[in-house]
Amino acid sequence: MKRKPLSLNSLLAVTVLIVSFVIMTSVVCNAAPSKDKLITVMNPAITEKPAKQISLAPRLDTLQGKTIYLVDLNYEGINGTPVMAEMQAWFTENMPGVKTVLKLKKGSYIADDPALWKEIADSGGDGVILGVAG
């Protein structure tokens, strides 16, 4: 029975596993022994203070004559995705009485963009559709 040679990806994966094992073994073997055998683990994603609750904005009776911001949250960090532009095209075709403003939020999807929120509030935007799409 003839064996097929490993692919480049398989060889790379095996190499990474071997190197990781060697590094972990050397770290464990060279670690100084602890008298109390305790470790401290910290999770930076958790805060002790709960987030402040904010009520949702009241629902609009109609979209006719309103300005709706379509905000791409820049989830992938690649200057937006076509999803919000497609939504804008839908509004243009199906609800021409609704003004849409397409915006790309600065930074990653988890970063705040106070300038954008101020722009929307100052312009009299009636609603916002936030999009996380890829």
Q: Quick one: pLDDT at residue 128?
A: 92
| Terminal-residue alpha carbon distance, the chain | 45
Tokens of 59: 């629902």
Residues 126 and 68 sit within 8 Å (Cβ to Cβ): yes
Average pLDDT taken over every residue of the chain: 80
Total Cβ atoms within 10 A of residue 30: 7
Give phi and psi for 117, each to the nearest 5: -65, -40
Question: Using 50, 70 and 90 to split pLDDT, how confident is the model at 67?
Answer: very high
Is 60 exceeded by the pLDDT of residue 35? yes
Question: Using 50, 70 and 90 to split pLDDT, how confident is the model at 134?
Answer: low
**71-110: per-residue pLDDT in tens?**
988 876 677 678 888 999 999 999 999 999 999 888 877 8
